[in-house]
Amino acid sequence: MRFMLMHRVPQDDPASWEPNPELIERMNAFVEKLTADGVLLGAEGVQQQGAVVRRRGAAIKSTDGPFAEAKEVVGGFLLIGAKDLAEATAVAEEYITCFAGVEEMSVEVRRVAESEDIEPYLAK
């Protein structure tokens, strides 16, 4: 199964957005470990620049970031292969330790929908 681990950081905390050598070293070691274990499928950080596109009824509205209404925003993600949610959560618990300098953050673990997950809905 594939899982996406998204790390969320405070939008207004500079330490969350300015990588330091220690964070880069910890993250590189973690990525190397996951790669060697055959777990890592992809990993990226994201910048603060972005937009949100919302639809309310027929109206579609785009809003440029940064996003004032958000306290925590996605700072990056890992895409991993794991046998189940428990294994993916264990990887997330190790992943969050890479961010030792960030006081408050979270890692959201979500199973990626595969084609076999939606096939039953196509038969209706």
Let me know the angle formed at the C-alpha of 60 by 69 and 112, rounded to the nearest 5 degrees: 70
Which pLDDT tens digit goes with each residue over 54-102? 899 999 988 876 665 667 788 899 999 999 999 999 999 999 999 887 7
DSSP single-letter state for residue 59: E
- pLDDT of 45 reads 87
- pLDDT of 37 reads 96
- pTM of the entire predicted model: 0.83
Which pLDDT tens digit goes with each residue over 17-50? 777 899 899 999 999 999 999 999 999 988 878 8
- pLDDT of 124 reads 61
5: exposed, middle or buried (C-beta count within 10 Å: 0-12, 13-18, 19+)? buried
Residues 20/24/30/32 CA torsion (nearest 10 deg): -170
